[in-house]
Structure 1
Amino acid sequence: MAKLNQILAVEKGVKASTQRAVTDAYHTIQKSPLLSGLSRTYQPIDDEGEQLPPESTRVQVKTEQVLTDVGAALTRLFDVTATKDWTNTVAKADVVVDGQTLIEGAPVTYLLFLEKQLVDLHTFVSKLPTLDPSETWSVDENTDTWRTDPVKTTRTKKVPRNHVLAEATDKHPAQVQVYNEDVVVGYWTKIAFSGALPARRVNALLARVQKLQDAVKYAREEANGAVVEDREVGEAVFRYLFA
């Protein structure tokens, strides 16, 4: 018997071929000349009259046949889709990570949803802010954040000073040069705080997401290995529609 993954493999092709068939049928029945036929003969009023050959045009497209062909194409699609959807209601698998079952009996449709969500979550986690690796960080219990070690720096102030270049004499005043001197007037103690995460924490989170992604893919493959029961609903539908 076929398995769900085999039905999924052919579904896309069936959809494409059915769409082409229905589209072609639609365009065909829009061409009025293809549905029209003609038979015409000529009879002169007497034996001396001109004889003309008969004319005829065959009907190339019969609408009833078009309906039959469309019904046949859609019947295949209806049956394949029904087989897939009915099997999806029973195709289930456990999501297991490191021997621990996180989700038991997850339907294949939920596993597909979970796969997409985990792709987005992986992107989110990979963009989490990390602590500056050039600093040494430790947990600050008071603020529940990370903090650096205190760094002490000086605060200086420019104080004007006089430098005597030449002493005063009885003939000349003293020659004095004024300059500024940086004088330490205090000390700054700086501690940086951050709400970011250590890189090792982000890497550990990413590893967990990736493990779960792998587990979900494995579970989906297992669920898609479910044996299908062929469903044939299309014939009944189109027997009613086009009867």
Structure 2
Amino acid sequence: MTKLNQILAVEKGVKSDVQRKVTDAYHQIQKAPLLSGISRTYQPIDDEGEQLPPESTRVQVQADEVLKGVGVALARLFDVTATKDWANCEARADVVVDGTVLLEQVPVTYLLFLEKQLTDVYTLVSKLPTLDPAETWSRDEATDTWRTDPVKTTRTKKVPRNHVLAEATDKHPAQVQVYNEDIVVGYWTKVNFSGALPQRRVNELLARVQKLQDAVKYAREEANGTEVVDKKVGERVFAYLFA
């Protein structure tokens, strides 16, 4: 008994073969000389005249035969595709994750859709921003975001000071050097907030996606093991078309 995965294995080859044959047929019927023939004989006006040999060209391509060949080739493709599509209506399998059935009796076509979508989901999750591991983060209930522990820093202000290099005398004024001194005038308390995710959460999500991807692939393989009934529709179609 033929299985769906066997039909899928030969489908690509059948398509390529049919495409080549149909293309060849198209080119053949475009070449008028191949479809044309001629026969010429010569008879002199009297027995003394020059005798010339007959000339002939045979028809090399017959449109009916080309159509017949195309019909045979396409009928094979029609049969393979029909067998696959009819089987796809019946091919189903459960998606099982950790021993639990997540999705029941999923059609194989939908499993293929899931595979593609989960690839996109994995890409998205892998690009999620993560919290800076150099900081200590905790959940802030008020803002529903992540926050760091408060860090207190000082705010300083430059205040000019005088440094007497030499005291004043009755002959000379005092020599004074002006300099700036940093004086603490206040304190900053800084807290960072972030909407990113902890790396462990991203890793957990990636693992979940991978696990579901594997489950979908297993289900697809199981569904593709469904036995199929060979469909013979091509002959009927082309018996009508090229009758």
Normalized against structure 2, the TM-score is what? 0.99
The yes-or-no answer on 1:53 pairing with 2:49 is: no
CA distance in 1, matches of 2:93, 2:136: 46
What CA distance in whole angstroms lies between the structure 2 residues aligned with 1:144 and 1:85?
50
State the distance in 1 between where 2:232 and 2:208 align.
43
Cα distance between partner residues in 1 of 2:188 and 2:168: 43
Q: Deviations over 1:104-132 (max 9, x none)?
A: 00000000000000000000000111100
Structure 1 Cα separation of the partners of residues 20 and 9 of structure 2: 19
Aligned positions of 1:1-243 closer than 5 A: 1-243=1-243
Counterpart of 2:107 in structure 1: which amino acid?
Answer: P
C-alpha distance in structure 2 between counterparts of 1:30 and 1:186, whole Å: 92
Q: Distance in 1 between matches of 2:142 and 2:52?
A: 111
Q: Deviations over 1:168-219 (max 9, x none)?
A: 0000000000000000000011111111110000000000000000000000
CA distance in 2, matches of 1:101, 1:202: 24
Residue 188 of structure 2 aligns to a residue in which SS?
A: strand
Helix, strand or coil for the counterpart of 2:12?
A: helix
Distance apart, 1:7 and its partner CA: 0.2
Task: Describe the SS at the equivalent of 1:232.
Answer: coil
1:146 & 1:57 partners in 2: Cα distance?
A: 89
Q: Distance in 1 between matches of 2:226 and 2:164?
A: 100
Q: Which runs of 5+ in 1 are unaligned?
A: none
CA distance in 2, matches of 1:150, 1:37: 97
Say which SS state the counterpart of residue 105 (structure 1) adopts: strand
Report the alpha carbon displacement of residue 141 of structure 1 after superposing the two structures with TM: 1.2
Letter in 1 for 2:47: D
Q: Distance in 2 between matches of 1:37 and 1:134?
A: 88
* In structure 1, C-alpha distance between the alignment counterparts of 2:206 and 2:101, rounded to whole Å: 19
> What is the letter of the counterpart of residue 35 of structure 2?
L
Structure 2 Cα separation of the partners of residues 43 and 193 of structure 1: 107
Instruction: Determine helix, strand or coil for the equivalent of 1:169.
Output: coil
Post-superposition offset of 1:143:
1.1
Quote how far apart the aligned CAs of 1:9 are.
0.4
Instruction: Work out the CA distance in 2 between the residues paired with 1:93 and 1:61.
Output: 50
User: What is the CA-CA distance between 1:159 and the residue it aligns to?
Assistant: 0.1
* Pairs aligned (count): 243
Partners of 2:177 and 2:62 in 1: CA distance: 114
Q: Give the Cα separation in 1 of the matches to 2:168 and 2:236.
A: 124
SS of residue matched to 1:89? helix
- Whole-angstrom CA distance in 1 between matches of 2:221 and 2:2: 15
Structure-1 separation of matches of 2:31 and 2:94: 55
Alpha-carbon offset, residue 144 of structure 1: 1.1
Supply the RMSD in Å over aligned alpha carbons.
Answer: 0.4
Query: 1:238 & 1:14 partners in 2: Cα distance?
Result: 17
Question: Aligned to 1:185, what secondary structure does the other structure show?
Answer: strand
